[in-house]
Amino acid sequence: MEINYKINDGRVDLKSLNADELTSYIESLGEKKFRANQIYQWMHEKLVTDFDSMKNVPSKLLDTLKENAHLTALTPIRVQTSKIDGTKKFLFKLYDGNVIESVLMKYHHGNSVCISSQVGCKMGCRFCASTLDGCVRNLLPSEMLDQVYRIQDSTGERVSNIVIMGSGEPMDNYDNVCKFLELINSPKGLNISLRNVTVSTCGLVPRIKQLADLKLQITLAISLHAPNDTLRKTMMPIANKYSIEEIMDACRYYLEQTGRRISFEYSLVKGVNDTKECARELIDLVTGLNCHINLIPVNPIKERDYEQSNKEAIMAFKNKLEKCGINVTIRREMGRDIDGACGQLRKSYMEDSHESSSND
């Protein structure tokens, strides 16, 4: 049988297969179907990290699997806990030595995990640390899942919400992200409702439309950050490819297909996009669309000169939107004391390890 999910050395990436695919694979090894059920349960329900923990699977089959297949299990190499709000940042090592970061945020309504979808990112947004060294590779579905599995396992508490807002552009790793959504939602796995999943994109228009056609109940978040193309182009290179008008069309289509309200993210940068005029333009842009705006005080990174808007500017911006009936919230800055912004922890880890290896 043809399997699409493989790691570098050609072995099958077992955890990226859905139950039917796993069954076909196990049957292709001359084994009975119920073995696939057992293995699926060990991986996606009991969250084991190695083949030897699969106690009811015969050792002969486990040996065959070890030879031909890979069981993805991320290794935590650093965990930072915020003293302010208990947010935890995890740095995980992948099988090929790459590192990614994930964040656990505790809210009243449950535990939310922010996962990465790629190692690095190629979108080049000016305020973002994830993109400074480009995109190294896409994450496999199993590698997105295991961020959630390892965090749930290490805390012993159920993860109820997922946001794909870590490093990477999920719509640039479309097929693997869709497979991740299928697996995380599976009743045979963590069974997380897609209503509790948010996918954030900088605005890859054809992919947004493709996603809309799947009619999933996920929340789509658009990283807008500017109310007109001229300004957006100075902040986000993707604005040279797709105009705001095209993005708004795609959002309307998404809403039509799914009935789900759109979220817009708007990171406020001092003197750049936090002016009265910007607020006015933003109001004109979204009025009449069923949406929610999330204002994020930009988290400055040392490689760029963007500064966070001051409190008054943030409140004035919010009030102006609210007065016009727009749903708007200011995102609480979670984990500000622990390399809060996307990609900052990974970046500081890479710099540390680079420094220590060049000092050797």
Binding site for ligand SAH (CB under 6 A): 123, 125, 127-128, 165, 169, 200-202, 223, 265, 267, 296, 298-299, 301, 341-342
Burial of residue 330 (CB within 10 Å: 0-12, 13-18, 19+) is middle
Beta-bridge partner residues of 330:
295
CA distance 228 to 182: 35
- Min dist CB 202 to ligand SAH, Å, is 4
Rank residues 23 and 167 by Cβ distance to ligand SAH and give the closer one.
167
Nearer to ligand SAH, 31 or 265 (CB): 265
Nearest alpha-carbon partner for 5 in 250, 137, 200, 179: 179
Q: What is the DSSP string of 12-41?
A: EEGGGS-HHHHHHHHHHTT--HHHHHHHHH
Catalytic residue among 31, 101, 143, 169: 101
Identify any residues that bridge with 113 across adjacent strands, giving them in sequence order: 104, 162
Catalytic choice (114, 121, 128, 342) = 342
* Cβ contact 17:5 at 8 Å: yes
Cβ closer to ligand SAH: 146 or 339?
339
Nearest to 257 by CA among 221, 223, 211: 211
- Residue closer to ligand SAH by CB (options 252, 300) is 300
What 3-state DSSP class applies to 78? Answer: strand
The amino acid that residue 63 corresponds to is D
Amino acid at 16: S
Residue 157 is among the residues annotated as catalytic for this protein: no
Residue 303 falls in the annotated catalytic set: no
- Nearest alpha carbon to residue 282 among 314, 310, 317: 317
What is the C-alpha to C-alpha distance for residues 274 and 289, in angstroms, rounded to an integer?
A: 21
Residue 196 Cβ vs ligand SAH, minimum distance, rounded to whole Å? 17
Of the two residues 43 and 295, which places its CB atom closer to ligand SAH in the complex? Answer: 295
- Which residues are annotated as catalytic? 101, 342
